[in-house]
Chain A
Amino acid sequence: DGGITQSPKYLFRKEGQNVTLSCEQNLNHDAMYWYRQDPGQGLRLIYYSQIVNDFQKGDIAEGYSVSREKKESFPLTVTSAQKNPTAFYLCASNPAGGGYTFGSGTRLTVV
């Protein structure tokens, strides 16, 4: 079945450490997105990519970085510059004009 795979499901980060969240899709969608979800704040856009080798900052990009070297993959790195990284991270993709398909998320916790 086609879909989006996020890994790992749970991730623990030490202070000052960079971590990378994986997002892979086999839906042949051009556009991919990373959202951060905090209780009571809904979903906030971190980065998005419309095509391979191109991406743009969303509303809360500081402390995050991405790459889009392949159509299927859109990994998110949470850097040490992100001072409050504990959150639920969701990856999504969509076809032209269509609704999003979401992955099952990665819960990141700072220890």
Chain B
Amino acid sequence: AQSVTQLGSHVSVSEGALVLLRCNYSSSVPPYLFWYVQYPNQGLQLLLKYTTGATLVKGINGFEAEFKKSETSFHLTKPSAHMSDAAEYFCAVSEGHTGFQKLVFGTGTRLLVSP
């Protein structure tokens, strides 16, 4: 079965600093990978996704992630943190590529941004 590991349940950065949220996955087939963001008491919003093709994926709000097959990683980065980036972030891997697509989620990383 596929699985996702997010290192660090909490990450703290200062406003303007680099954001790095780590995600490693296990999969027996080429994965589809996703990053979602969740603000308090809200649903999850898709930040970006990797399916095939270019391994560096750009998403919304200045975030990007790089798929590294050799490291089984899909880390999320943003060059300069903003106060509005404070939220919980979830990495997910897909167990299906066409039609039905069951996602397996990591346990999440809460990003704290200080002034």
Contacts and interface: CB of A to CB of B under 8 A. Distances in A.
B98 A42 contact: no
Given A40-B9, A48-B102, A50-B100, A100 B44 contact: yes
Contact of B102 (A30, A45, A102, A103): A45
27 contacts: A4-B43, A30-B99, A30-B100, A31-B100, A33-B102, A40-B107, A42-B90, A42-B106, A42-B108, A43-B44, A50-B99, A92-B44, A96-B101, A97-B51, A97-B97, A97-B98, A97-B99, A98-B101, A99-B46, A100-B36, A100-B101, A100-B103, A102-B43, A102-B44, A103-B43, A104-B42, A105-B41
A45 B100 CA distance: 14
Secondary structure at the B interface, as helix, strand, loop or mixed, is loop
Interface residues of B, number: 23
Interface string B27-65: 000000010100001111110010100000000000000
A41 interface: yes
B49 A105 contact: no
A90 B103 CA distance: 13
A97 B101 contact: yes
Nearest to A42: B107
Given A40-B107, A41-B107, A105-B41, A100 B46 contact: yes
Nearest to A91: B43
Contacts of B102: 33, 45, 48
A105 B40 CA distance: 11
Contacts of B74: none
A104 B43 contact: yes
Given A99-B49, A103-B43, A104-B42, A94 B101 contact: yes
